[in-house]
Structure 1
């Protein structure tokens, strides 16, 4: 399996790609070519072109959740997928309207828009999207230090109600030596995601985690998250997108973390 970072907040020195506060990964596993999130704008396509990645060959498009820093690029997909239409996989709540105060933070493309041209699979349950990769669906609360936190509001019926981002999901790759976890923002809690990935796959060894961990403050949750990482002896950590410098520094003090930036490529077996 090969993963390429198409969009992240960070870009490497002397590597001239485009960055934005968002996330998108391109993943190849066996015969499947998977786009995981689309960033905030068309930057994912610009970077793919610079990296010589042909997005028109994508077979699956998986969305971690419905916030616009992960779904904003959906506005562009009709111009990319002209020869073949990838299946789109997401949680059923992904495309509901979302706002924070008066700011619209949800997907500008609706479920109804996508269903016209795409096979749209909306699932709370885990589902295989390639030979070795599973979309985890809805993540349960499995640890006591990562309760669901409100992020703005969502329109579940006629009115807006507090949004606890139940649509937040992730991917897990089953390698020869353990599992590798790929997250978008981890609103569900990065440790909850890791624990659920172990349950779904039946594999207890976590080799690596890449993505947004949604950690910002130096607080008890961060301390317990570091303890969780250490107890699971995770070999490599790649926090990016929605992880503050302070959180990265505190993790790195106890567990070496890897720098992530647009253009990073990882290969897992």
Structure 2
């Protein structure tokens, strides 16, 4: 028989004093570890497990996340949720491969129920950067046919301690992006600058404070962190893991970001994917930057 799919946490259960544990496995990142038979690509994908719930956060640029999971003896057939940080191809490119993978049952077993896919409403809109398409190859309509699609600008509590943040308020002027380089096409045919409103993150309430899990942080890691603290009613931040979109940041932005992160007194900053080596070295002056690579396991 098929197992019953887990449901989202209702409002009255959101702020329990109990905290669960969370484990995170890096399935895809730009960086790989030595002495591991795993591959990397310009993308990101994490497997998250907490409170008996299995969540795939982003799918990387291709089907590589599935190949790496197989090499680590990790099954992705029993996912409860898929969460997309935003609609760019390096975070949604593996969706088609995942759809094909889930379309058939494992040998000797019935096909499991479809996982729920959580994303911002703009996630599947067509996107361009400097004239080149860089949005999801899978449309929202296709995603809705394959998954239980939940699109939300508002926070969505996945478990008692893990929340999808939804649309991030932009509060720090120095984290303003460059919308003139990006365009977005709405389903009604309108075209305009892409302010990357679909960029979001996860926040987990650990015993030591929040763990913030990002895809690219186009919304700005300071904006994301402040909103996570507000949504979770928790000021402490223990760790941040994911892309920070600091490839060639302006020196002023890098200093202000560093000072903000320094005030958090983080246990660790696991910056990866779209964070350049110079940016990591600069941030090391402000907080404990730690290594991330495909195959690494983290727990809080």
- TM-score tier, shorter chain, comes to over 0.9
1:175 aligns with 2:206: yes
Select 2:197's aligned residue among 161, 166, 177. 166
Q: Give the Cα separation in 1 of the matches to 2:160 and 2:79.
A: 15
1:113 aligns with 2:145: no
**Which residue matches 1:136?**
165
**Higher mean C-alpha deviation, range 245-254 or range 25-34:** 245-254
Verify the 8 A CA contact 1:38 1:44 in the aligned structure 2: yes
Select 2:39's aligned residue among 4, 11, 18. 18
What per-residue deviation string (whole Å, max 9, x for no partner) do you get for residues 205-227 of structure 1?
00000000011235111101100
1:153 aligns with 2:183: yes
**Which residue matches 1:257?**
289
**Which residue matches 1:233?**
265
> Any stretches of 5+ residues in structure 1 without a counterpart?
none
Q: Give the Cα separation in 2 of the matches to 1:107 and 1:227.
A: 34
Verify the 8 A CA contact 2:24 2:49 in the aligned structure 1: yes
1:69 aligns with 2:101: no
What per-residue deviation string (whole Å, max 9, x for no partner) do you get for residues 102-161 of structure 1?
321000100111112321000000011123210000000122321243251110242431
Select 2:298's aligned residue among 263, 266, 269. 266
> Any stretches of 5+ residues in structure 2 without a counterpart?
1-21, 104-110
- Map 1:73-92; keep pairs closer than 5 Å: 73-82=94-103, 83=111, 84-92=113-121
1:27 aligns with 2:48: yes
Q: Give the Cα separation in 2 of the matches to 1:49 and 1:42.
A: 11
What per-residue deviation string (whole Å, max 9, x for no partner) do you get for residues 66-87 of structure 1?
0000000011122222422100
Secondary structure of the 2:175 match is coil
Verify the 8 A CA contact 1:149 1:187 in the aligned structure 2: no
Select 1:220's aligned residue among 249, 252, 262. 252
Select 2:58's aligned residue among 31, 34, 37. 37
CA 1:149–1:258 in 2, change beyond 3 Å: closer, same or farther? same
What per-residue deviation string (whole Å, max 9, x for no partner) do you get for residues 234-267 of structure 1?
1100000001111011111332211110011001
The Cα of 1:13 is off from its aligned counterpart by 1.3
**Which residue matches 2:13?**
none
Query: TM-score, normalized by length of structure 2?
Result: 0.87
The structure number with the bigger radius of gyration is 2
1:57 aligns with 2:88: no
* CA RMSD between the two structures: 1.2
